[in-house]
Amino acid sequence: MDLKSGYPFWAVKNGLMQAFPRLSQDTHCDVAVIGGGITGALIANEFARHGHDVVVIERRDIGWGSSAASTALLQYEIDTHMTDLAEIVGETGAVRAYQGCAQAIRDIELLAGEVGDVDFGWQQSLYYASEQADADSLRREFELRRHHGFAADWLECDDIRRCFGFEAPCAILTHLAARVDPYRLAYKLFGRLVANGSRVFDRTEIAAIDSGTTQVTLTTSNSVSLSCKHLIMAGGYESQSWLDQKVARNLSSYAFVTDPIAHEDLGPLASTMIWESARPYLYMRTTGDGRLIVGGEDDDVDIPARRDERVGKKANTLVKQVETLFPELSINPTFSWGGTFAETEDGLPFFGPHDQYGPRVHFAMAYGGNGISYSMLGAGLLRALIEGREHPLAGLFSFDRET
């Protein structure tokens, strides 16, 4: 799959940070991870640091799939409201999913501190009603979150105007959110893995998977064999191609990044990510050097050539939307891009085995608007499954969940 269009900022900013070899001879390991993006990096790190012999396989250069196009808003908030999710999986399950994502952000902070220099920074998250008709739904969402201990404030129209300088009927201000450079974090994790004895191979394509009772055998396109006790499919949106069952819908999202903006001009945007209740939604956050990343204008185009053609027009539309909210800002889209993303019916990810392959092949499908938080959470979940331990979210995120 061609997963991105235009000039994703992270790859332009960081370049090719480290070279990794192709897999050129038969090998074996405890856990093989297919996917060299941020999801694969977080999962491989989790297993390696707990004593598993890990091999990572990526068909492109490391980080050059969807991770290069991610806008990397770290949130516990799922695209599906907690109130709506409660109607699908029950209130206990909905709260547990939100709590898991909240803990994942704290875990990412610790990991970012270990590897260093990945532009991690704490933010607030302002979720505003796009129109008055959304106000009641937002209020119910706020009350349910507060009931279950999530720190948040309710803002009326006057509060939003005074604190953030734009007009909206109401909003939820959340105090647990963050930013990160996902491409840089992935590279630094993979570099550390190699330094500590794990093996990472890129430009290596898997042609076949044979899942047996005691091991899984992978065969590359150039007939090299990799055998493992367990396989984790963390290939992002391409992972669906390995399943007969359709579990998510592929869409495209668009984004741009500005030149650095002075802190005094950014005002509250310097420390607050903003998104809205409309679907598809506008969202924005800043980088550590004061750039504004803006995304949205999602559509159902999953044809790369058509997505390529739309990047410029979509970026211009996003600029106008930001300037409507913040007319005093001078917005210049220095780099703009589009990328594939996927959403599930209930907004939850899929982690674990699928009946098509049996218990030794696990999928890591961190789909949705907070995929990095899901990936961090899913890393621990998958390790628990493979080590034969229970995990409180295993059933909720499994392919067998009832929705």
CATH number at residue 204: 3.50.50.60
Q: What distance in Å separates the CA atoms of residue 210 and residue 336, rounded to the nearest whole number?
A: 40
- Give the pLDDT of residue 306: 84
Question: Looking at the predicted structure, is the pLDDT value of residue 334 above 90?
Answer: yes
Per DSSP bridges, beta strands 121-128 and 272-276 are parallel
Query: Can you give the pTM of this predicted structure?
Result: 0.96
Please state, rounded to an integer, the average pLDDT across all residues of the chain: 95
Of the listed ranges 47-61, 139-153, 186-200, 237-251, the least confidently predicted one is: 237-251
CA–CA separation, 319 and 305 (whole Å):
23
Residue 22 domain-assigned (yes or no): yes
Exposed e or buried b for every residue in 182-219, given b needs 16+ CB within 10 A? bbbbbbbbbbbbeeeebbbbbbbebeebebeeeebbbe
What pLDDT is stored for residue 156 in this prediction?
A: 98
Could you tell me if residue 139 is inside a domain? no
pLDDT on residue 118: 98
In a domain, residue 356? The reply is yes
Number of domains the chain is built from: 1
- Domain annotation covers residue 87: no
Q: Where are the strands (E) in 11-98, listed by range? A: 27-34, 54-57, 73-75
Give the pLDDT confidence score for residue 305 in this predicted structure.
78
Is 382 a domain residue? Answer: yes
Question: Which H or E element spans position 43?
Answer: helix 38-48
163 within a domain of the structure (yes/no): no
Is the bond preceding residue 392 a cis peptide, omega within 30 degrees? Answer: no
Whether 307 has a pLDDT exceeding 90, the answer reads no
Helix, strand, coil distribution of the chain in percent, nearest 5 = 35, 30, 35
Q: How many CB atoms lie within 10 A of CB 327?
A: 10
Query: Looking at the domain assignment, is residue 325 inside a domain?
Result: no
Domain-located, residue 134: no
Q: Where are the alpha helices (DSSP H) in 148-231?
A: 157-164, 182-195
How much is the pLDDT for 1? 56
In this prediction, residues 33-44 reach a mean pLDDT of 98
For 113-124, what is the mean pLDDT?
Answer: 98
Range(s) of the domain holding residue 14: 4-69+183-244+349-386
Return the pLDDT at 341.
84
